[in-house]
A and B are shown apart, each in its own frame.
Chain A
Amino acid sequence: MALKMVKGSIDRMFDKNLQDLVRGIRNHKEDEAKYISQCIDEIKQELKQDNIAVKANAVCKLTYLQMLGYDISWAAFNIIEVMSASKFTFKRIGYLAASQCFHEGTDVIMLTTNQIRKDLSSPSQYDTGVALTGLSCFVTPDLARDLANDIMTLMSHTKPYIRKKAVLIMYKVFLKYPESLRPAFPRLKEKLEDPDPGVQSAAVNVICELARRNPKNYLSLAPLFFKLMTSSTNNWVLIKIIKLFGALTPLEPRLGKKLIEPLTNLIHSTSAMSLLYECVNTVIAVLISLSSGMPNHSASIQLCVQKLRILIEDSDQNLKYLGLLAMSKILRTHPKSVQSHKDLILQCLDDKDESIRLRALDLLYGMVSKKNLMEIVKRLMTHVDKAEGTTYRDELLTKIIDICSQSNYQYITNFEWYISILVELTRLEGTRHGHLIAAQMLDVAIRVKAIRKFAVSQMSMLLDSAHLVASSTQRNGICEVLYAAAWICGEFSEHLQEPHQTLEAMLRPKVTTLPGHIQAVYVQNVVKLYASILQQQEQAAEPEAAQEVTQLMVERLPQFVQSADLEVQERASCILQLVKHVQKLQGKGVPVAEEVSALFAGELNPVAPKAQKKVPVPEGLDLDAWINEPPSDSESEDEKPKAIFHDEEQRQARHRQPEVDEEELARRREARKQEQANNPFYIKSSPSPQKRYQDAPGVEHIPVVQIDLSVPLKVPGMPMSDQYVKLEEERRHRQRLEKDKKKRRKKKEKEKDKKGKHRRHSSLPTESDEDIAPAQQVDIVTEEMPENALPSDEDDKDPNDPYRALDIDLDKPLADSEKLPIQKHRNAETPKSPEKEDVPVVEKKSKKPKKKEKKHKEKEREKEKKEEKEKKAEDLDFWLSTTPPPATAPAPIPSTEELAVNAVTAPDNTCEGLRREEAEDENDEAEQDPERKSSRHKKKKHKKEKEERTKDKKKVKKKQPEPEEEAAGPVENGAAEEEPAPPMSSYCLLAENSYIKMTYDIQASLQKDSQVTVSVILENQSSSFLKNMELNVLDSLNAKMARPEGSSVHDGVPVPFQLPPGVSNEAQFVFTIQSIIMAQKLKGTLSFIAKDADGATHEKLDFRLHFSCSSYLVTTPCYSDAFAKLLESGDLSMSSIKVDGISMSFQNLLAKICFHHHFSVVERVDSCASMYSRSIQGHHVCLLVKKGEHSVSVDGKCSDSTLLSNLLEEMKATLAQC
């Protein structure tokens, strides 16, 4: 037996391993394919062996062959076998092979779930690591769903090696299983502050990827990232964060203001080019998001441009490239600052590196002005000549056209020049962009009426020399221009000098070698031309000449009738018959010209490409409405009419809008303009086409400057654009002289003159552009749009975008149904109501009664509107206000960071003035912000009075809505809606002395089953500076404070900030609770140093921290069906209380219970409501609240009787105050 094994392994020794395979392939260069197929046969044999080492070796070789392009999907099962090997080296081979060739379509992949789960929980970190690495490549939606929870656990693994991999792979899990994002996010956020830099970097990486796709959901993390940015020294992390800020700033300009200073500092201080570059990029993004007119920002722009110039001038091609890349971003909003570096950019056009040339071309686009357009294009044309036969030339060609045609030909002063440029471009051989040139020719000829004559003459010349264009070998490209030429000559044939000659050119036999669609246009336009010739000759009374032309047509058209192209054939035969008929009539001496040209009467106007889409839905047309009543389901019937009624109401409201008076309209317009100016995504166009339509009611009213006749309308031979450059210069010179003369005469006249000239100017005035008037006062015919077309463009997002699924609001509290599936114990009673529509219904119910209270309707509406926004913005607003960012972790923070934070807050003060000015234009929310800050104290007093008035005996103090209240989202919702309920705050007084006042709130979260977070607001009430604050509690057996690693139970936890006089800030402390069924109190002390002018004293403040049972509850929505099931299950114990003498309305009462005890209303019928909540350790608590005449009875059911009785006691205390 033993001998057999030895023999077996010796045999194995001479199996080919990977190296042998590679060597073999190298030695069989001539018959590689044959050799490899041999090898694959061998591998197939090896895979049949039982020995796992042999299999692993075989799989390893397969992985290599996969890279060479051989299909190895047939071995998928063997790969899984190797993955499950116990030896790490084999396992690794298996996972590698899987990561290289598994994909979502691999059917055996579902067999791996358990194996991967086993590896993930393996005691060896390398097994886990390799499984994570492999999984990151082939994770499928199923795997993601099944393993999400396991991976989430690994995110808190003790070894950083595992943690960082687990964190990173979460991104892939999110992509495949978006439902996991919300439950996993809190932990991911935690990892941003992981002690291990690798893990931290991984978390930053993941959040940056997420935020890049849906930035708005991650705005609330800005403070945290800001902290990281000012504290981290890892350049990789810094780069990622800075890039992330670049994505966030467009959404929150205030963030940008806060960022500018630290970023500028970084730019000045860093020696790492990569970091410098990203800083510059983000500063640019910030500047784009801010309004450009701010004086103090021009310094930042200058700094950026200056740094970029250094990059561009660097000899390192990479830096040069990146410099140009970033420059093009600045160009979009601050063209002027870039234009001053025109020399440098033109220089880059000559660079030997194509990537650099392309970037420089991009920049040119924004650098042209009326003044320099001709010069730049001339330069580009010389490049075009040099770059023959490359794709770069095509790129040049498109760029020339782009540059010239941008914003409605804004920079073209002389269209004759442009046409001649286009004609010159037709001489390029082998370009793919013939159609582009053709489109331009058509566009210009149609829209610039004044140029038609010239265009036609040029086009007829082009047709004349068509053999030049069409004879080149790669005909398909450039001959497209003949399409345009033929059409222009036909359509505007009245401008032709020698129509007869053109007609003959178009009927040459050579034409039949052109592509079909061009021939078709030829045929059609030949008739147009024919019609106009007929008319001319009949007017001139030359019937013979007319008949000659007809004869020519009859002779030549048959060549098209024989065309292989159906379109050409059809048109030609149709027209041939027509012409023959005309010939007959002509023979009889009947005048036909009128009738023939009637065929082509009327003018074609360009139609905007989106015109169809923009046709507004006519009033009263509801495409969704039923034409016939649908066969009704009994249930939905009730709802339907309501919905329709509701809809109508809205529509009426919309119609009423126009009644707003002029003033209001003007104000709104101004505000909108402001907004647009601030919005980097708003495309600042040249005045919108429609507007111009209105401005210019008819062509007659346009002050037309006489066409400068010094420009010869017909240039002999092929035109040369260079001539026009010179002519144009002369013209401009003359113009200048003239103007100077005029200036001396009368000012008024000059102004009038200017007005006329500026009609076409866009919103972007370029330096001294105003001085140049176009040679032809051209009326650019705008594209037609339907009346009332909607101006906005909704950009249609790709519905298949995988990242769209990750657009998830992360600030909402976690619903129970969202927990990640855990394999072991799936609760049968978790509310499984699938329809999400249920949620709003429940909400609506609670809203309804409130609406009856008319007094507060106004207030309510306001609140409702703002609520959503505010809730999210709160966190950020708080941070963006002057106080230092709230520390989210009790971790000790190095003093350098404190300094950084202080430094950061300083510049914001200066911004405040500006912000306040802006506030007038901004919405209410923004207005509130500075006010809140400035009058914080006043407000507080005011609040206190209010509280007294409403006889809320609790020592509640509402400072400012704290971000942490978000955790109790729906509750807060309820509370806010329940005006006139007394203002409620979950913050209670903890302790107070002459120096400091502490209020606190306890939040629990479902994700951490035995942890609660205590947020303490510390308010400095003295005139001293408070620092070195340290909070300590005496841990009990049941509750312990989480302390930084390495400190003993007697150490305090430092508060991560200092308090200047009159300032308050919030610190959070985490406590671990073992049993939550009893309330308890912890004794604690806050020690601090109070420093004032006389010196520093060491002070102390004792307090008792009260953990009520309610604070362990987490507001959890519950559907009524799940609720019923829960009650039916019967494993809940029951208890009840009754409180007399209650005067408060039932509505407010419920709100109070919701708010203070973290319940949510499941259902409410009259004066009876069922409520639900859940403890952090998973106890269900169900309540039935009934209101009698002057009393309230509460029946409770809970999985733990002690917890229930304690809860009810607490509730009794609350209700007793009502």
Chain B
Amino acid sequence: MIKAILIFNNQGKPRLSKFYQPHSGDAQQQIIRTTFHLVSKRDENVCNFLEGGLLIGGSDNKLNYRHSATLYFVFCVDSSESELGILDLFQVFMETLDKGFENVCELDLTFHVDKVHNILAEMVMGGMVLETNMSEIDSQNKLEKSEAGLAGSPARAVSAVKNMHLPEIPRNINIGDINIKVPNLPYFK
């Protein structure tokens, strides 16, 4: 079981939090904070596992995390999940995000957290891996988009109009080097 999925940036600002076990709002914030502290003080190129699982109940749990550019992706999982499998799930997740946002960057996640949730919902449901096939996730996403097409587009147009008045949107901050372009999964050939 996956107990929680967290995304936060280098400063510890949450970008997405999904808990598959009930926690009160305060506890959630506390978990995000402590997880950030645990994860952020680790060097680069050390292993991606951390036995700080006490955070989300039970010593059975492990933190699997991945740091890419400005974001930390953290999955808290218990022993029924394969460690390397979860690392591949990161890969699937990032690649799907990349497709969905066209060259994903932190700002995409910041402004469209709902969309990230929707993508995640097709991958993981109730703490269990639902789908790992990227094209499946993607096609369903497309279908959803087309269904929501009418409702979706004016909103985007409106925000485009509104954006024109704003000084300038830092749209160029690109995080191209998130490993996302790696075409194959290292552990799943």
CB <8 Å contact, A205 and B128: yes
Report yes or no: B29 in contact with A69, Cβ–Cβ below 8 A. Answer: yes
Asked if B88 is at the interface (CB within 8 A of a chain A CB), the reply is yes
Contact partner of B132 (CB less than 8 A), chosen from A64, A101, A236, A271, is A236
Within 57-80 of B, Cβ neighbours of A (below 8 Å) are at: 80
Question: For A88, what are the chain B residues with a Cβ–Cβ distance below 8 Å?
Answer: 144, 147-148
**Residues from 122 to 137 in B contacting A, C-beta threshold 8 Å:** 125-133, 136
Closest chain A residue to B41 by CB distance? A354
Once the chains are docked, how many angstroms separate the CA of A273 from the CA of B185? 11
Q: Are B84 and A322 in contact (CB under 8 A)?
A: yes
Partner-binding segment picked from B96-104, B151-159, B173-181: B151-159
- CB-based contact B130/A355 at 8 Å: no
A212 touches B128 (CB 8 A): no
Closest approach, in angstroms, between the C-beta of B108 and any C-beta of chain A? 11
Interface string of A161-187 (1 = CB under 8 A from B): 100110011011000000000000000
Interface residue B182 (Cβ < 8 Å from any Cβ of A): no
**Does B110 sit within 8 A of A, measured CB to CB?**
yes
The verdict on B47 contacting chain A, using a C-beta distance below 8 Å, is yes
In residues 89-141 of chain A, which contact B (Cβ within 8 Å)? 89-90, 92-93, 96, 100-101, 103-104, 124, 126, 130, 132-133, 136-137
A355 to B47, CA, bound (A): 7
- Asked whether B147 lies within 8 Å of A169 as measured between CB atoms, the reply is no
Interface presence of A352 (CB below 8 A): yes
Interface centre among B130, B162, B188 (most CB of A within 10 A): B130
- With CB as the reference atom, state the residue of chain B lying closest to A164: B130
**Do the beta carbons of A243 and B47 come within 8 Å of each other?**
no
Contact partners of A133 in chain B: CB under 8 A:
121, 125-126
Whether A168 and B128, one on each chain, are in contact in the complex, defined by CB atoms closer than 8 angstroms, is yes
The yes or no answer to A585 lying at the interface (CB within 8 A) is no
When distances are taken between beta carbons in the complex, the residues of chain B under 8 Å from A93 are 114
Quote the shortest CB–CB distance from B130 to chain A (angstroms). Answer: 6
Closest A residue to B113 using CB positions = A64
Q: CB of B14 within 8 A of chain A?
A: yes
Set of chain B residues within 8 Å of A239, measured between Cβ atoms: 82, 85
**Is B168 among interface residues, defined by CB-CB distance under 8 A?**
no
Asked whether any CB of chain A lies closer than 8 Å to the CB of B10, the reply is no
| B183 within 8 Å of A (CB atoms) | no
Given the known interface contacts A136-B125, A161-B140, A355-B49, the answer about A318 and B85 at a Cβ–Cβ threshold of 8 Å is: no
Closest approach, in angstroms, between the C-beta of B131 and any C-beta of chain A?
Answer: 6
In the assembled complex, how far is the CB of residue A163 from the closest CB belonging to chain B, in whole angstroms?
11
CB-defined interface of A72-87 with B at 8 Å, one 1/0 digit per residue?
0000000000000001
* Interface-located stretch among A13-21, A500-508, A736-744, A1174-1182: A13-21
Q: Is there an interface contact between A67 and B16, defined as CB atoms closer than 8 Å?
A: yes
Chain B residue nearest to A322 in the complex (CB): B83
Contacts of A68 in B (CB 8 A): 14
Residue in B17, B84, B130 whose beta carbon sits within 8 Å of that of A318 in the complex:
B84
Complex contact B85–A171 (CB within 8 A): no
Whether A206 sits at the interface, judged by CB under 8 Å, is yes
Contacts of A355 in B (CB 8 A): 46-47, 49-51
Measured in the bound complex, the distance between the Cα atoms of B20 and A271 in whole Å is 32
Chain B residues, CB < 8 A from A420: none
Q: How far in angstroms is the closest Cβ of chain B from A295?
A: 31
Are B80 and A243 in touch, CB under 8 angstroms?
yes
Q: How far is the CB of A496 from chain B (nearest CB, A)?
A: 44
**Is A22 at the interface (CB under 8 A from chain B)?**
yes
Q: Which residues of B contact A130 (CB under 8 A)?
A: 121
Asked whether A437 is an interface residue with its Cβ less than 8 Å from the other chain, the reply is no
Which single member of A64, A67, A126 contacts B143 (CB below 8 Å)? Answer: A126
Q: Contact mask B3-28 → A, CB, 8 Å, 1/0?
A: 00000000000101110101001101
Q: Which residue of A lies closest to B24 (CB)?
A: A103
| Interface residue B118 (Cβ < 8 Å from any Cβ of A) | yes
Contact A209 B188, beta carbon cutoff 8 Å: no
- Is A605's beta carbon under 8 Å from chain B? no
Residue of A26, A67, A272, A354 near B187 (CB, 8 A) is A272
Contact between chains at B152 and A352 (CB < 8 Å) = no
B45 an interface residue at 8 Å Cβ cutoff?
Answer: yes
Question: What does DSSP make chain A's interface, helix, strand, loop or mixed?
Answer: helix
The verdict on B1 contacting chain A, using a C-beta distance below 8 Å, is yes
Residue of B nearest to A272 (CB): B188
Residues of A within 8 A of B110 (CB): 22, 26
In the complex, whether A23 has a CB less than 8 A from a CB of chain B is: yes
Bound complex: CA of A171 vs CA of B20, how far in Å?
13
Cross-chain contact B189 with A272 (CB below 8 angstroms):
yes
B37 at the interface (CB under 8 A from A): no
B164 at the interface (CB under 8 A from A): no
A321 partner residues in chain B, CB cutoff 8 A: 47, 49
Quick check: B111 and A19 within 8 Å, CB to CB?
Answer: yes
Known A-B contacts A22-B110, A60-B114, A126-B144; A206 and B128 likewise in contact (beta carbons under 8 Å): yes
| Contact of A168 with B46 in the complex, beta carbons under 8 Å | no
Nearest to A165 among chain B residues (CB) is B125
- Smallest beta-carbon distance B65→chain A, Å: 11
Q: Which partner residue on chain B sits nearest A19 by CB separation?
A: B111
Tell me, in angstroms, the Cα distance from A137 to B128 when the chains sit together: 11
Give the nearest-CB partner of B189 in chain A.
A271
- The distance in angstroms between the C-alpha atoms of A273 and B83, with both chains bound, is 11
The residue from A70, A208, A358 contacting B80, defined by CB atoms under 8 A apart = A208
| B16: A residues at CB distance < 8 A | 67
- Chain A residue numbers with a CB within 8 Å of B48 are 317-318
* Given A136-B125, A317-B46, CB of A273 within 8 Å of CB of B144: no
B118 pairs with A22, CB closer than 8 A: no
> How many whole Å from A930's CB to the nearest CB in chain B?
35
A67 to B114, CA, bound (A): 11
Q: Quick check: A63 and B82 within 8 Å, CB to CB?
A: no
Given known A96-B117, A355-B47, contact A89–B148 (CB-CB < 8 A)? yes
Residue A591 lies at the interface, judged by CB distance under 8 Å to chain B: no
Is A274 interfacial (CB-CB < 8 Å)?
yes
B111 and A22: CB pair below 8 A? yes
Residues of B within 8 A of A243 (CB): 80, 82
Q: For the complex, is B56 an interface residue (Cβ under 8 Å from A)?
A: no
Select A20's contact among B51, B136, B159, beta carbons within 8 Å: B159
- A67-B16, A235-B188 as given contacts; A320 in contact with B140, CB under 8 Å: no
Residues of B within 8 A of A53 (CB): 151
State whether A318 touches B83 (Cβ < 8 A). yes
**Residues of chain B with a CB closer than 8 A to A209's CB:** 1, 80, 128
| Contact across chains for A205 and B129 when beta carbons are under 8 A apart | yes
- B136 cross-chain contacts in A, Cβ below 8 A: 198
Does A945 touch B at the CB level, under 8 Å? no
Chain B CB within 8 A of A353 CB:
yes
| Cβ contact within 8 Å between B132 and A318 | no
| B114:A198 contact, CB within 8 angstroms | no
Residues B47 and A168 in contact, CB atoms below 8 Å apart: no
Residues of chain B contacted by A1067 (CB below 8 angstroms)? none
Q: Is the CB of B126 within 8 A of A137?
A: yes
Q: Give CA–CA (A88, B143) in the complex, Å.
A: 12
Assess whether A71 is in contact with B114, with CB atoms less than 8 Å apart.
no
B38 to chain A, nearest CB (A): 11
Q: In the bound complex, what is the Cα–Cα distance between A499 and B31 (angstroms)?
A: 54
B-binding residues in A (CB < 8 A):
13-14, 17-20, 22-23, 26, 53, 60, 63-64, 66-71, 87-90, 92-93, 96, 100-101, 103-104, 124, 126, 130, 132-133, 136-137, 161, 164-165, 168-169, 171-172, 198, 201-202, 205-206, 208-209, 212, 235-236, 239, 243, 271-274, 277-278, 317-318, 320-322, 352-356, 358
Interface contacts beyond A209-B128, A322-B83: sample of 9 additional A-B pairs, CB < 8 Å, sorted by A: A22-B111, A89-B151, A104-B22, A126-B144, A130-B121, A136-B126, A168-B125, A209-B1, A318-B84
- What are 26 of the A-B contact pairs (CB < 8 Å)? A20-B162, A26-B110, A66-B25, A67-B14, A67-B113, A89-B152, A96-B114, A96-B121, A126-B147, A133-B125, A161-B140, A168-B125, A168-B128, A205-B128, A206-B128, A236-B129, A273-B186, A273-B187, A274-B83, A274-B187, A277-B83, A320-B47, A321-B47, A353-B47, A354-B46, A355-B49
Shortest 10 CB-CB contacts between residues of A and residues of B: A136-B126, A274-B84, A317-B47, A353-B46, A89-B148, A321-B47, A69-B29, A103-B22, A274-B187, A273-B187
